[in-house]
Structures are given as C-alpha cells and as structure tokens.
Amino acid sequence: MNYGHFNDDSKEYVITNPKTPVKWINYIGGLSFGGFVDQTGGSLICRKDPATNRIVKYIPQLPLSDFNGETMYIRIKEKDGYRIFSPFYTPTLDKYDQYECHVGMGYSTYISEFYGVRSEVTIFVPRDSERVLRDIKITNLREENLEIDLIPVVEYTHFEAMKQFNNADWVPQTMMSDLVVEKGDLKTVLQYAFMRKDTNVNYFTSNHPISSFTTDKNHFLGDNGYGTFKRPKSLEKDELDNYLALRGDNIVALMHHLDTVKPKETRRIITQLGQCEGIENETKEINYYREEANVEKAFLDLKKYWKNLLNKLVVDTPNKEMNSMLNIFNPRQCNTTLNWSRYLSLYQLGLGARGIGFRDSSQDVMGIVGHSKDEAKKLLRMLMSVQKRNGSAMHQFNPVTMIANEGDSREEEDRDDFYGDDHLWIVLAVNAYLKETGDFSFVDEMIPFYEKDKEENPLETASVLEHLKRSLMFTRTHTGKHGLPLLGFADWNDTVNLPKGAESVFIANLYGVALNEMIDLYTFLDDNTLVSKYKKYYQHMKDVVNEVAWDGEWYTRYFDHLGEPIGSKVNSEGKIYANAQSWTVFSGFATEERKNIALDSLNKYLNTSKGIKLSYPGYNGYEEEKGGVTTYPPGAKENGGIFLHSNPWVMIAETKRGNGTYAFQYYNQINPATKNNIIEEFECEPYVYPQNILGDEHPQFGLGRNSWLSGTASWTYQAGIKYILGIMPTYQGLKIDPCIPKEWKKFSVVKEYRNAIYNIEVLNSNCKEKGVVKVIVDGKEIRGNNLPIFDDSKEHNVKVFM
C-alpha cells in the first residue's frame, strides 16, 4: 500500500492520501527563520532557536486528526447555514474528492477538492526574507455561484517552548495581542509576550480585506472553549468577535469574505506569518509580499536556488530509486541536517535539551560540502569554537548563545564528562571540506577554543590545523588498560555508557581514519615530519587493535572498566556489533584475512532484508551499568535495532574489500524510496532516511522512526557517491574508483568540482565490481584514475573503463 509517489521531474514527492500512519513533514526556511510543515498543512515555526524563540504551537502528541500550529477553514454559504471545512483535511476531516500534498524543495503545495471547491496552497519561506507565505488559490468548480469565506488560523505558543507546557500561571498572563488597521480594511494582527513587546512581535496578515478577527482560542471555539476545532462555534456566525486577547491562549483567525465566486473563477489570497522588532519597521516588506508578482518571484528564486544546488552533482545509474535519492531527496535531507542538526523534528522536539551536536554536525558537513561550501565552512568554524584546549569537544551548543554543554554526561557523576569520539569527527569534516573545495587558506584561519576568562574572552585562539592536531592528541593521550582509546561517557553509540576506564574499539578506528586524513593533508602540505609521526601513531594503534580486539570471527566492540570485552563471543547478549567490523575495515586496521572474516560474520549475524542491525543479540533487561542501550527492548534503536546511520559504514567497508554486490545490496535495502509500497510496515516518509527501523528481534520488524534528522543522510550520500559510484575528491584531484554490482553495464555522473564540470561516463562491459583500467579525459588517456584539477570554468568529458 502506498500514500503517494515520487515525481523526480518536479523534484517532489506527491502525497495523495492525507491519512499517513504518522505525520509526514517537510522543512521550510531554515534555523534563522522557519521550521516544518506537515502533510495536513500544520506548521512549527521558530526564529533562530526553537527552544527560546518559538512562534507557533505544535504538539506532536495530539491525535493526528487535530491540527497543529496553523490551519485554514473554508466556509460556503448554503441555504440551511454554513458548510465549514478545512482544505487541509484536518481538523474537520470532511470527505475529499482529491487530496495532494506536493513535498517540494523548501516548499509544500496542497491541492484539494471538497464540495466543488478546489484549493491550492503553497507554503514557503522566501530565501532572503523571514516570513512564512501561504499563497492560496480557491476555485469554484461548481456550475453555480458560491459565497465563499476563508478563515486562516494560527495558534501561538509562548516563545520559551518548554514554559508553554510547564507553567500555566505565568505564561497565560503574559500573552497579548494587538491590531493594526491599514488602508482598504487590510489588517495585521500582532501577538507577543509582554516582556518582548518591543523586540519579538509576531504578526499575521494577508493581502485581502479582513472583516473581522479573533485572537483567543476559547472565543474561536465558542461555548467557553467547549466548542471544537472540528466545528468552531464562532464560524457559525457571520463575523468573528474582534476580541483582542490580553492574556490566555493566543490564536489568530482572520475572516476573509471572497463574496460571490463565479463558476470556474479563481481567487487568490496571500497570508504572511512573521516576527519583527516593531511593526512600523516591517510595513514595507509586508506590503512587498502582498503583491502576487513579488511572491511569485520569491517562489521562483527558491526553485532556482534548489535547481542550482542539485545540479552540482547529478547521477544516472541503472537503479531508479538510487537516482531519486542521490539526485534529489538525499542532498535535500543533508541540507536539512546541516541546518537543524538534531534540533527540531517530530522526534527531536527542539525544547532545549539538545541544540547543535558536535559529532552530529561534523558528520553532516561531510554530506553537503560539494553542494553548500559556504554554509559548511560557517558551521565548521562554529564547531571548532566549542572545542576545548585539550582537544576534546563540548558535546552540543545553542546556536544563538553559543553556550555549549557536556550533553547527557552531566547527569551521571561517576562517568567521564567527555565523549571519546566527538573531537575526532571534526578532523574528517575539515579534510572533506578541503578536498572538495581546495580552500587551503582555511587551515591557517584562527579560531578560539571554548574556554573563556571572566570577561568572556577566549583563553586561547589557534589555527584550524592546530585544532585538528589537538583532536588527535586528546585521543592519543587518553587510552586505557589495553592501549585503546578511552570511551569517556560514550562514543558514537550514545547509549552504551560504561563506568570510567572503559575502552572503545570504534574510537580506535575513528582515530585511524582521522590519522589517515591528516597523513593525506600533510603529504599534500609537504610536511614529512608530521607525516611520519602520524604514520607511526597509525601503525601503533593498528597493532593494538589487532592484538587485543580480534575475537576469532569478528572484532570486539568495547572493553569495560574491568577490562572485560563487550561485543565478543564470550558475551551472551551483544555478542557482535556492526561498527567494530565496518570501522576496522574503514580504518584499514583489519588485516586482509580478518577483513573478510569480520565482514562475512557481520553479514551472517547482523544483516536482515530491511537493513543491518547494530548488534546481536539484543540485551533483554535493564542494566544500570551499561546504561541507555538496555532501556530498549531487543530490536529497538541501539539495542539490536537497524540503526541506519551505521549501515553506510558497512557499505563503505564492502567497497574497501571490492564487494560491489554487497555494497549495493546494503544500499538498496535501506533506501526509503524502496519502501514506498510497504508504508503499512515502514510508516515513515519514503523520501527521507529515518534514524532507525525495528530489527527482527522485535515483533514490529520493519517499522521506521525518527525520520529526517539523522547522520544516515550524510553517510548514505557519501557511501553512494564517494564509495559505490567512486567519485572521490582528494588532494590530488577527483579520484574515480567505483565499486558496483557486476550487472551494471554503465553509469554516468556530472559533477561540479573545483570550478570545472566533469561529465563522467563509466563503462563496465567486463562485468567487474571494482578496478579501473583506463581513463580518457577530453579524448586523451591519462595515467592513473585521478582526474586533473582544471579550475577553468569549463566542461570536461571523462570516459572511465572498468
């Protein structure tokens, strides 16, 4: 069963049934202003920070049939009273003749038909302006004249998102509204919390005369609030009560009479929701966006932005679903994680507990460096500014205040307060940025460390290179009994939290990958001393891993504080972990023989038809000492679930051993586009990767959750482009080294790289999985498989023979 289809030509997924098993969302705008909209027109909007400056109230725990944040009512005058319905299906739930939600790049368009009225509503935030526009077109499809009214509604929240839920004394006493009447009966209704009346004023307005309005939820619902959003009592009267709430639950509902709409006639209204310091300063822009032509231009600009962005890399492979993801939906998801980290989604509620994650965003950057270089660089700077002088990193930070904290590790006193892996990810991210852009002056840029003196001045500032060196130093100087890196509070697997002294094989490998990156960089920078120093560190850690972590059929994942292995045949639960296998191959630490044994064991014990499980067997009961992982039943999340983020690492490992069949099989089995026809099982949006799918130890095997904000986006994109298709930016140019299923006869890639366009065609008439034999660039054969850096704004044709 499906709930819609892909339309790659328009770069949209089209939802055709609003009753999806969970809300399916799309992001509009960005962290500076924006949020998400759901498939029934609901929205969650904030400005700069969802925790401390939230505008609209969205409560994901409400029944799906309720509306959240924003909706609209249409009212038709009929002989026996008003027919009232929402073109967004919720909250009135009328029977529709057509329903479509087009999930586009930075916008959603809703097309519906109810009772002979067609509505088309496009919701977006203009690229260079902070406001949500709803461009609404209403058409009378009947043969008779209709008297139609439009009543858009916004439900506000207190700006401090958490307070809305935990303080029902203070919050309602502070919430106020106000009215600005303009020429021609245009009106703008203001809403603010009293203490922010001069700084953060929310406004809602349209470009059509407003005959009446209301601003209090209970007034709108009627009957002292015992009316319902399904049938608000206030809409049974001709006009709303023009009540300006000076406390309480603030909403805004605006009555627009379209009067007589003739058969086939279309009317258009544009609403704006935004926030400003003082409405006087905003009038000019509000008026600008009241003009249809300006709204159309803003929408075209948004489309152009996405067209340019997605054109930076276009693939054509024999697999349709892979093409959809790599060309459109996966980079779009990467752009979203770059913006929102793990801050605001239907699952990460943006109430302040998190913020921008150090490890998360470092990995996000890697997925998008080819598309959004400037944003990537900006984020890299922010990340390094919360790194500490000893090389470790603060776990997360608030993007507005730049105040960072140690994450969950603060909660447990007997555990370390650093995460053993965080600081190493930045090494990978900066190198990915440099290899993609060639912006080498960045390595000398000075960035402060996090620690400050009493006047809030940084205690030390150092170059980007120095930041990276300190990352490596922290790991090198924080090792445990076996010589492996200390786990700290946790590594990438946030939920295995062991008492002080535990060691992590994963971090050892991440350190190995980071060292390799720095060896590449220093080779390019011609610093032989550092190259040989890092090579020594690399060899040392490789020896340690092979000496202590080989378990016979696979690599062990951790040693606890007593030196006992976790992820070993001696354990009865959590015997084998995926990351210990994939990363030992990724780092190059695994020997040739062990590499094959480890990846085959992974395939045998961890692979399922719906993805690779993180570990097996699941822990079956809470153990305080192990922490979070044992809070889940077996098969869920990190406890033996299919944690998608770790799947691309296995794809990468498979390409390292030249197994294109497995690499692609693993790619394909988690591709959400392949789930489009089994939504009853998967439930989530088929156009983005979720964070997790329940594993086969769980009765609901196959159920996806936590869509959108997951490191899966970045890594699956990297696995697809850099490792399976083998289009890999290096310091020496664009390396082409595919690892594909042998049935693939050919594929092509167009990539913008270092100011030139590479039209690459890969031909595989020998049915190989890996191994390039000949490369022809602009008609001439080159030595090796590194395409030259042209930097000449021209197109170059490349033929690669495998």
Three-point CA angle 740, 743, 747, nearest 5°: 60
Looking at 191-199, 466-474, 487-495, 744-752, which segment touches ligand GLC (CB under 6 A)? Answer: 487-495
C-alpha distances in Å from residue 471, one per residue of 33, 101, 506, 544, 545: 33, 46, 16, 20, 20
Amino acid of residue 507 = I
By CB under 6 A, is residue 70 in contact with ligand GLC?
no
Q: How many residues contact ligand GLC, by CB under 6 A?
A: 13
Residue 38 or 364 with smaller CB distance to ligand GLC: 364
Of residues 493 and 659, the one with the C-beta less far from ligand GLC: 493
- Residues 228-267 interacting with ligand GLC (rule: CB under 6 A): none
CA 749, CA 797: separation in Å to the nearest integer? 11
State the burial class of residue 561 (Cβ atoms within 10 Å of its Cβ: 0-12, 13-18, 19+). Answer: middle
Q: Which is nearer to ligand GLC, 491 or 560 (CB)?
A: 491
Establish if 582 lies at the interface with ligand GLC (CB under 6 A): no
Quick one: which segment of 185-193, 356-364, 502-510, 731-739 binds ligand GLC (CB under 6 A)? Answer: 356-364
Kindly write out the interface string for residues 641-680 of this chain, putting x where it contacts ligand GLC by CB under 6 A and - elsewhere.
Answer: ----x-----------------------------------
Q: How many helices (H) and strands (E) does the chain have?
A: 19, 42
Site for ligand GLC in 692-731 (CB under 6 A): 710-711
Q: How far is the CB of 780 from ligand GLC (least distance, A)?
A: 46
Q: Which of 422, 494, 551, 696 is catalytic?
A: 494
As measured in angstroms, the least distance from the Cβ of 490 to ligand GLC is 7
**Residue numbers 616-645 binding ligand GLC by CB under 6 A:** 638, 645
Closest to ligand GLC by CB, 489 vs 492, is 492
Q: Is 342 in the site for ligand GLC (CB under 6 A)?
A: yes
Residue among 357, 627, 641, 738 that touches ligand GLC (CB under 6 A)? 357
Shortest reach from residue 755's CB to ligand GLC, in Å = 34
Q: Which of 134, 187, 257, 359 binds ligand GLC (CB under 6 A)?
A: 359
CA distance 147 to 77: 5
- DSSP bridge partners of 486: 503
For residue 147, the surrounding DSSP H or E stretch is strand 146-155
Q: Which two tokens stand for residue 476?
A: 């090198």
CB of 748 to ligand GLC, least distance (A): 33
CA angle 403, 27, 193 (to 5 degrees): 55
Q: State the residue number with the nearest CB to ligand GLC.
A: 494
Three-state secondary-structure class, residue 645: helix
Binding segment (CB under 6 A) for ligand GLC, from list 316-324, 488-496, 750-758, 770-778:
488-496
| Phi, psi of 321, deg, nearest 5 | -65, -35
54 binds ligand GLC (CB under 6 A): no
Using CB under 6 A as the binding rule, the residues of this chain from 491 to 510 that contact ligand GLC are 492-495
CA distance 141 to 781: 63
According to CB under 6 A, which residues from 182 to 201 bind ligand GLC?
A: none
By CB under 6 A, is residue 360 in contact with ligand GLC? Answer: yes
> For ligand GLC, which stretch binds (CB under 6 A), given 184-192, 357-365, 479-487, 726-734?
357-365
Reading across the β-sheet that carries 565-566, which strands appear in turn? 503-504, 558-559, 565-566
Nearest to 673 by CA among 210, 331, 325, 212: 325
Longest dimension (CA), the chain: 89
- Is 494 catalytic? The answer is yes
Q: Which stretch binds ligand GLC (CB under 6 A): 13-21, 93-101, 221-229, 355-363?
A: 355-363
Closest contact distance (angstroms) between CB of 757 and ligand GLC is: 35
Of positions 234, 647, 691, 764, contacts ligand GLC by CB under 6 A: 691
Q: What DSSP letter does each residue of 239-307 carry, written as one string?
A: S---B--SSSSEEEEEEEEEEEE-TT-EEEEEEEEEEES-HHHHHHHHHHTTSHHHHHHHHHHHHHHHH
How many CA atoms does the CB half-sphere of 427 hold within 13 Å?
Answer: 28
**Nearer to ligand GLC (CB atom), residue 332 or residue 359:** 359
Please name which of 467, 243, 253 lies closest in space to residue 358, comparing C-alpha atoms: 467
Instruction: Please report the DSSP string for 744-777 in residue order.
Output: --EEEEEEE-SSSEEEEEEE-TT--SB---EEEE
Which window, 109-117, 282-290, 489-497, 521-529, contacts ligand GLC (CB under 6 A)?
489-497
Q: Which is nearer to ligand GLC, 387 or 437 (CB)?
A: 387
Which C-beta is closer to ligand GLC: that of 13 or that of 492?
492
Report the amino acid identity of residue 9.
D
d(CA 322, CA 671): 7
Is there a contact between 569 and 552 (Cβ–Cβ < 8 Å)?
yes
| Site of interaction with ligand GLC (CB under 6 A) | 342, 357, 359-360, 492-495, 638, 645, 691, 710-711
Query: Which positions are annotated as active-site residues?
Result: 494
